[in-house]
Structure 1
Amino acid sequence: MNHRQKELLRILLVDEEGVWHIKDLSERLDCAEKTVRNDLDRLEEHLRAYPSAKLIRKPGFGISVECDEEERSEILRALLSSEPKTSEERLFEIAFQLLTSSQAITLQFFADRYYVPKAMIKKDIEAITTWLGRFGLELVSKPRVGNIIQGQELQKRNALAHLSELISSLSQDKNVVLDLFLPYEISIVKKALGDMKERFSIAITDSAVESLLVHALIMVKRTRQKSPVFVQNSEKEMAHERKEYEYTTWLFDILESAFGLPFPEEERVYFTWHLISCKRTEEGMNETLKVDEAITEIVSAAIRKMSKLTMVPYETDPILGSGLTVHMQAVLNRIKFGFPITNPLLSNIKKMYPYMFNMVMIMIEDIKRDFQLEIPEDEAAYLVLHFQASVERLGKKREAKKKALIVCHMGIGMSHLLEAKIEQQYQDIDIIACIGKADVLEYLNNQRIDFIISTIPLEKIKTDHIVISPLFGQEDKKKLSQFVEGLKQKQDKFLVPNVISKFLAEELLFFDVKKVHRYEVVEMLADALFQKGYVSKEYIHSAVNRERNSATAIGGGIAIPHGNPSLVHQSAIATAILKERLEWGSERVSLVFMLAIAKEDHSEIRGIIGKIASLSETPLVVHALTAARDYQEVLTIIGDKE
């Protein structure tokens, strides 16, 4: 039996006293009545293996299963054993059922379905309730009635589309939301989307196509369930003027024919919004886009602000301008239409580029004030990549390429394949030779290189080196990027010694700090800076508000909160050594450096954050700092590291 037939049998077995009509079963299973009749024939054959079991089909009365209790339990156990559910899969399916049900569902129903105690189901419900809050939804439990989700249909669909994020382990390899739909439905929608993309030459990313696939499948299901979205007439008129509405109309003609399902006009507008909000590929940047004047102003303001903050001439990089314009158009549409995204790279971006991330978050505060536009940190992290890429492009004009040596143990062919991959991926790395391990020492005696990329461990080699796989997969690329970034930080350290110690003040160093929430730590440090005259009073609110927008932990038990630099009178770093580790976003922190760097000292901030980031990569130093008991000891530890 397939999944649908097993579910049909389970429904009939669980409901011992009631009867079901074909129409009710087809709606419950989300399939045609003819399909249910065919499935009942299959069930009838399956039940012949159980002497007391009998499928009752009475015209005008309904359908049920007659069976003694022992065999009923045996059949249910067989169903369960043939399709075991992990606790994570159960949580995932319960959330899906609640989001797609118009009726309250009891704990007992779920307990019977998954053969677990009601107390376990109650814990699942609590976890789902917390997660639903991200989408503005509320799970209401009514005594003797059951549990039902309250909220707008648009919010429910957003939650459905992001179900894979409910459990991180389920979303590592693929979008498991697709497993909730029938293969033929996925096939129909995927082909239609592919044809639409090809017919109209729509240059959007693969992840955008998958997102459209998920939303289209949800749309089909919710339309069948007669749960449409609400769209105002003015929004319909605006959608009709977009070229994306033309693409949607073409797509919906195909889907209506394939599913025999008429879609309301609101669904067409809703899908047009998604199409407008899609991420475009690099080729898509060259398309003729309808760019709102406001987007151009926002991008220009962002580039100006970032240039002042970082003293990098971003205005001279045309690629940044065009890339940000295309990207911001999608960002603004996602914000406008209420399509939140989750950036899977957020944590890594914060750790790899702490300086740029914090500069972007400061820039975003100005954008919010000037344009009444609030950009969430998940979107901000993508902006970091645009500006970081620009820094590297502009840097190539001023800096020579880093010279690297490849040491490979798998022959010339593999060596040169690895060389080609690296030079294609990293334009600022110049591979000067590919040699075997036996020739390394002699080569280093005669040639100057910056670092070595090796496919095997190298003993007694003092030159900076990294070991990667000769196949150079995604993990290797990430590893090499972190290695190169680490070398840059080491270089910064050599050029700017004692940059942290320069701004540490004894009157701003606090030991054994015990607080309940990270906001309290931020407020305490900002207030200390104000009381000592380093910042204005408004800085306190600015720092707390910045922390609310995005947690400032950078890994290694360290956080670097800060406020608006325009509110700083004299540069200083206020430091808190926490008595116990404190939750700081998705991490736990024991060491907090509040950066209050005035505009005139802003040339120092890249070095400061670089040094603190290097501290976060040395656990022993962080441990030593958290164990320090006076100002001089802290200076000594940091001085040794610097």
Structure 2
Amino acid sequence: MLKLSYPRLKQILMIIILATVEVPSNILSKRLNVSTRTIRSDIKKLNSDISDYKLEIMNCRGKGYYLAIKDNQQLDKLKCDLNRLDKKTNVDNSGSRIKYILNELLTKQKLISIDNILDSLYISINTLNKDIIDIKEIANKYNLRIVHKNNGLSLVGKEENKRYCFINQLENKNYKEYVLGFTTNERRLFNNIDLDTNSKVINAFIDKEMKEIPDYNRKNIVIHVILSLSRIKAGYILKEFNSNLQVSHGFQDKFDKMFDRLELNIGNEIILPEREYVKYHIGLNNPQIVNNSNEPQEELIRKSVLFFLDKIRNNYTFNLLNDDLLIKSLTEHIKAAIKIKSLDSSRKNPLLDVIPSTFPLAYEMTITSIKILECQLKFHFSNDELSFITLHIGASMERKYSNKWKKRNVAIICGSGTATANLLRAKLENRFSNYLNIIRVYSYAEYCSSLYPKEVDFLISTVPILNSKVPVVEVDLSNFANDSKELYGFITSTSNNQQILYSLFKPELVFINSDLQTRQQVLDFLCDKLEEQDVVRSDFRAKMFKREKMYSTAIGGGIAIPHPIKFAAKVSNVAFLQLKRQIVWDDNDNKIQLVFLLAINEKEYPKIQTLFNFLADLQSDTRFYNSISKCSDSNETIKVINSFIQNNIN
């Protein structure tokens, strides 16, 4: 039986067997992304692994490697074994091997043979021993033990703990893949039951009994029920399960009816501890079904939310206190969080890693103001819960402060008759429906009689108008294509959000190709420049460094957005610096090359949600860095920044 020391050797062997001529070492190194020295070591190891076949890989000087064949039958045997090897489990890194071995330990009733593991994964005993050390550390977290006996391994511990290990360790919950049905790995893990039939029963129960449940939580419920069914079918049954969860009146009967149908599907009895286990996990993912006599009164939560939003207004001037939807959704969310905490558990946010960088301002507002909410409710919010709250705050800010295109009210003045007027209106609505709210079409005579509405932002006219109190954009149907471009240019150039962003950047505060090597040097340099330009107050630097200590201002894409924790700017500007080389920005080893130091005046703070949106979008736009790197001075850099502002707004 063919056993290769590590997966790369299989690739080398396949290349050499299939080649019709010698394969140079530099070709192998390029294909496998390793050095030629590594290739030489691999060939030596590979020859040892295939020595039983009486074959050897030789090196023809000046040409490359080839397989020296003395017996074609041995070659055929090698090809046959190589084909079998190709069908084995594809695990080419420690993480995937650990998941594979854990799965074997959790699903096999008997000892699993070490020889079978080595054969399945084609790894050495030394590699397996290293992996077992990591597996033991994982098992310890769940009060489980790895037992080594008679050249075999087994996992010892309570069934409940094994299930927690199973759920948390074996499935990579990539959000997009996770919510879209069953993954290939899930189908492999639960291949002893009919996944599709049972999931239909579970989803029908969810659809009927639960309202507005997120897809992620729905999938969590399905997985926990399926896991319970699969373990029961395999003979691993929970003998006891205790929780203090009490469900809403009437839910228990409906819950039991679901399990009665599932019993028929799997042909096994689902005893009470198993039902309680599932009910507990349904409650964690849908707290609305949970009764908790110890939870704070709803009015107390609502008042606490108002204190929290008032703190945000005091710190950042954003007034979200009149957003009834936000107050209601936060109150319901916190009620659910408290219910889950009462069950000695917590919920995971699948977007935890991306929320701080995607909504940097909303996240900062949340974590710097959350203490008042925690004190009022005597409740600590986890990072996952803080990220959930950030989404509620971010949604409110989008509703109230981040309308990139607030439609302009316009009136059309047309002196060419009704048919022409209607055609012009249709063309404008077709092309500019996202930007314009056309009040009505008026004749030139009606305009002169002052019959058109005065509350318009500007006029679109087919005739020259010289005495208007509001801007006028003249269009001609015969030249509509060109005139519509001018109209679009007028709309974008007068966009308040766009003008605000343009005004924040000026050449005196833009620096490129800097040789600075540390975060401290970068921030001191930019603070010096802001002080020289009389942009900031004397306390700006201290407040900026205080904010920097709270958590990293690196948002991804090699970008950092440092700023003070409190207002300390006389006027609003952004100091921008591009480094020649990336520097380590924080303890998380984030590498930064582009720095935007934000100095925003208190009166203008509510207008800068657009700035944070713009900066968050830049982190995933590689064109921005490529364009900046080609600039030779600050004026060119300003032009690049402004062009990306225009593209972002548009």
Given the two structures, how large is their TM-score scaled by the length of structure 2? 0.54
Structure 2 residue matching 1:589: 3-state secondary structure: strand
| Aligned counterpart in structure 1 of residue 217 of structure 2, from 205, 208, 227 | 208
Contact 2:326 2:393 (8 Å CA) reproduced: yes
Partner of 1:193: 202
Contact 1:356 1:384 (8 Å CA) reproduced: yes
Per-residue CA deviation, residues 607-630 of structure 1 (Å, 9 max, x unaligned), is 65356447657757657989999x
Aligned positions of 1:152-301 closer than 5 A: 153=160, 157=164, 160=167, 163-165=170-172, 174-176=181-183, 177-179=185-187, 180-182=189-191, 184-197=193-206, 200=209, 202-222=211-231, 226=236, 228=238, 235-236=243-244, 238-240=245-247, 244-256=251-263, 258-259=265-266, 261=268, 263=270, 265-278=272-285, 293=298, 295-301=301-307
Cα distance in 1 for residues equivalent to 2:490 and 2:550: 45
Contact 1:536 1:569 (8 Å CA) reproduced: no
Cα distance in 2 for residues equivalent to 1:330 and 1:440: 58
Contact 1:299 1:328 (8 Å CA) reproduced: no
Partner of 2:4: none
Partner of 2:500: 495
Q: Does 1:513 align with 2:517?
A: yes
Aligned positions of 1:474-623 closer than 5 A: 492-499=497-504, 512-514=516-518, 534=539, 543-547=548-552, 552-561=553-562, 564-565=565-566, 579-582=581-584, 588-593=591-596, 602-603=605-606, 605-606=608-609, 609=612, 612-613=615-616, 616=619, 622=625
Cα distance in 1 for residues equivalent to 2:116 and 2:176: 26
Letter in 1 for 2:186: L
- Structure 1 residues 342 and 199, CA gap change in structure 2 (3 angstroms): closer
Contact 1:559 1:591 (8 Å CA) reproduced: yes
- Structure 1 residues 303 and 266, CA gap change in structure 2 (3 angstroms): farther
Partner of 2:31: none
Contact 1:346 1:381 (8 Å CA) reproduced: no
Aligned positions of 1:334-413 closer than 5 A: 337-344=344-351, 347=354, 353-364=359-370, 366-368=372-374, 371=377, 373-376=379-382, 378-394=384-400, 400-401=406-407
Cα distance in 1 for residues equivalent to 2:144 and 2:101: 12
Cα distance in 2 for residues equivalent to 1:147 and 1:489: 70
Letter in 2 for 1:111: L
- Structure 1 residues 121 and 594, CA gap change in structure 2 (3 angstroms): farther
Contact 2:561 2:597 (8 Å CA) reproduced: yes
Contact 1:98 1:149 (8 Å CA) reproduced: no
Cα distance in 1 for residues equivalent to 2:308 and 2:213: 24
- Structure 1 residues 208 and 621, CA gap change in structure 2 (3 angstroms): closer
Letter in 2 for 1:276: G
Partner of 1:16: none
Q: CA deviation at 1:361?
A: 3.9
Q: CA deviation at 1:218?
A: 1.8
Cα distance in 2 for residues equivalent to 1:450 and 1:248: 61
Aligned positions of 1:107-126 closer than 5 A: 108-118=115-125, 121=128
Q: Let me know the Cα RMSD of the aligned residues.
A: 6.2
- Structure 1 residues 525 and 95, CA gap change in structure 2 (3 angstroms): farther
Structure 1 residue matching 2:321: 3-state secondary structure: helix
- Structure 1 residues 98 and 538, CA gap change in structure 2 (3 angstroms): farther
- Structure 1 residues 575 and 610, CA gap change in structure 2 (3 angstroms): same
Q: Which has the larger radius of gyration?
A: 2
Cα distance in 2 for residues equivalent to 1:277 and 1:522: 46
How many correspondences in the alignment? 487
Letter in 1 for 2:609: R
- Structure 1 residues 320 and 226, CA gap change in structure 2 (3 angstroms): same
- Structure 1 residues 362 and 153, CA gap change in structure 2 (3 angstroms): farther
Per-residue CA deviation, residues 339-369 of structure 1 (Å, 9 max, x unaligned), is 542425853x555544334333434455456
- Structure 1 residues 448 and 305, CA gap change in structure 2 (3 angstroms): farther
Contact 1:295 1:329 (8 Å CA) reproduced: yes
Q: Percent identity?
A: 18
> Structure 2: any 5+ residue segments left out of the alignment?
1-77, 290-294, 410-425, 440-475, 531-536, 643-650
Cα distance in 1 for residues equivalent to 2:548 and 2:555: 16
Per-residue CA deviation, residues 400-419 of structure 1 (Å, 9 max, x unaligned), is 4379xxxxxxxxxxxx9xx9
Letter in 1 for 2:256: T
Letter in 1 for 2:223: V
